[in-house]
Amino acid sequence: MAEGEEAPPPPGSWIKDLADALEEGGCDLETVRNIIQGRQLPADLRAKVWKIALNVVGKGDSLASWDGSLDLPEQSIIHEDCQELIDQLSVPEEEKSVLILDIESVITFYCKSRNVKYSSCLGWIHLLKPLVHLHLPRSDLYNCFYAIMNKFIPRDCFMKGRPFHLFRLLLQYHEPELCSFLDTKKMTPDSYALNWLGSLFSYYCSAEVTQAIWDGYLQQADPFFIYFLMLIILVNAKDVILAQESDKEEMIKFLETSPANLDLEDIEDLFSLAQYYCSKTPASFRKDNHSLFGSSLLGLKDDDTDLSQALCLAVSVSEILQANQQQGEGVRFFVVDCRPAEQYNAGHLSTAFHLDSDLMLQNPSEFAQSVKSLLEAQKQSIESGSIAGGEHLCFMGSGREEEDMYMNMVLAHFLQKNKEYVSIAKGGFMALQQHLADINVEGPENGYGHWIASTSGSRNSISSVDGDSPNGSGDGKGVKSLVNKMTVALKTKSVNVKEKVISFIENTSTPVDRIPFNISWPDRASMERHVSSSDRVGKPYRGVKPVFSIGDEEEYDTDEIDSSSMSDDDRKEVVNIQTWINKPDVKYNFPCNEVKENGHMFPSHLLVTATHMYCLREIPSRKGLAYIQSRQALNSVVKITSKKKHPELITFKYGNSNTSGIEILAVERYLIPNAGDATKAIKQQIMKVLDALES
């Protein structure tokens, strides 16, 4: 072998597996991730992997129809910036002119097609630098740049922009002491992190470090992950920052350039720590701010939430309800209801601790004792594994600004004490009431009453918006008893599952308990909504015995929740259909049509593995490729039903069970040829999963 010639990877190595998979074509991001498993990416395979991660494989030449005119008013600035970039790179003299023209064409066409005015402070040159290292053709260079701008650079990425207000809330959530220190110094995130976010760290990091960061970040396919990488860089410098006695400008310079200290060997730890902090962050951080990224029209609308005025991170009531039902790791909330005693007694979340915020001014000593009791109750609930337990404090007010003034003072009190994991329930108790009404799709008589407790009336009734409690006697046992019952229900769930599956094929017409629901009921038209498959809160089937059943669906079955998200297709993962069908863990493949509530049908494939069922929706414009439309665990299937007049139209209902019955969390419908064979195969696989869980 000639000196300096790179040896081929040994047979059976992961690098050879990756090279072979990329060479075969049709490789999707999941396949790539499974092979790489977080290891350092070989330089010669980086271009192919990044193109897959950016979903630009097979994309046409967007510049083909452009006349090539470099005639923008700011063209001279663009040319100078491109020249400066080339001068920083080791490019042979004979290639410089061609490369400058390619880069200048990419920027110019992007400005023209997006109607954007170029400015050097945008940092696009630094975004292009890692891509230029890949020696891509001009068409691929533009497609990759466009995909990064579209998917990974947030809107309003400028001074005082929304992305930086959001980062401050994340910093406050995890590192309140550090956040308070920087606030005191008037050092806002945009003053030091503008080029972190705008260039995805390429502004300050070396080429090798930038490539390693992008290797991991693009494979994550999660634009919000950059926030956690930024957070770790600050956390790593925390001790130095807090000990700083220099002036503001010097401190900003120190922070701004801190990513330059990253070495190649630091990247693995950087990502591991970022993953940890990510797992300790409420999902609402992403869900409520998803319009920051992508080309969704939602992002073009003015957001009614001014993050610059937010006291702390807000959490949706749907996440609060679902979080404490989950087993194992994850964010769990200890909910603190700060409304006045009369409103709390009229109706409150059954797992909430009451802290009357009025006491803070009216009786400070009693307030201090209540705070002490709160922290002790939180500690005990975590230790006992209670459903009400959680290390994340979430404060709930009424949802009316004038009434929640005192609650905001209580929140500020906890933040001043540098208490981490502090959040506020978005919309307060009013939002909780409305959410329970929205997901109760059959009407007020089938309420979500078991979520609401009352010390002045029936615990199964939801108080009216004005806080008036319904007439009726209390159960006399209080919240503690209710919390204990719910905890026992969770512990006994696994024991009861197998017994209930005996009634596998059953008529699902068992009467449902009627729960009083004292809240004004919105019109059916105003309740129509799309619920994501990630929503864990659904309508309970109180009184329905079987955990899982297969049967005929009533002709007018109104018990529906559309499980598909209306998210932008740009953010859905694209996979090769045949590659997925050929996966060794795929046991069954059923070509079908996904049927939406409005009657629209989409050619799809249902793939069944040992534990999950996937829906791959075909992409009409890209033959052989599909979006991953849904991913459902088989042990979450509680009903499979069919229309009497259309037996090939199969409805899958997903949920979970407790001692109260079954909660439906999502619904999906498919038109499946030979539907009987499909449901039989899925039934058998579900039984295997339940057998495994029992053993």
Q: Which band of pLDDT confidence, cut at 50, 70 and 90, is reported for residue 167?
A: very high
Mean pLDDT of 216-237: 94
Distance in angstroms (rounded) separating the CA atoms of residues 578 and 607: 11
pLDDT band at 58 (very low <50, low <70, confident <90, very high): confident
Tokens 């979500």 label which residue?
A: 448
Task: Quote the Cα angle for 14-15-21, to 5°.
Answer: 85
- For residue 468, the model assigns a pLDDT of 38
Region 544-564 average pLDDT = 41
Most confident of the following: 267-281, 489-503, 681-695: 267-281
Write out the DSSP string of 247-277.
Answer: -HHHHHHHHHTGGGG--GGGHHHHHHHHHHH
Instruction: Return mean pLDDT, the chain.
Output: 78
* pLDDT for residue 96: 87
Digit-coded pLDDT (tens) for 658-692: 667 778 888 898 989 888 888 888 888 888 887 77
Q: Which pair of structure tokens corresponds to residue 469?
A: 């409690």
Could you tell me the CA-to-CA distances from 387 to 72, 116, 147, 167, 580 in Å, in that order? 61, 51, 42, 30, 38
Structure confidence at residue 677 (pLDDT): 85
- Best CA proximity match to 639, nearest among 561, 537, 694: 561
pLDDT at 496 over 70: no
pLDDT tens per residue across span 531-540? 333 333 333 3
Least confident of 160-164, 233-237, 297-301, 320-324: 297-301
Q: What confidence score (pLDDT) does residue 12 get?
A: 55
Give residue 85's identity as a one-letter amino acid code: L
What is the rounded CA–CA span in Å between residue 180 and residue 160?
18
The two beta strands, 601-609 and 612-618, are antiparallel
Quote the pTM value: 0.67
Better pLDDT: 521 or 190: 190
pLDDT in tens, 183-207: 999 999 999 999 999 999 999 999 9
CB 588 within 8 A of CB 683: no
Reduced to 3 states (helix: H, G, I; strand: E, B; else coil), residue 42 is coil
Residue 327: Cβ within 10 Å count: 9
Asked whether residue 139 carries a pLDDT value surpassing 80, the answer given is yes
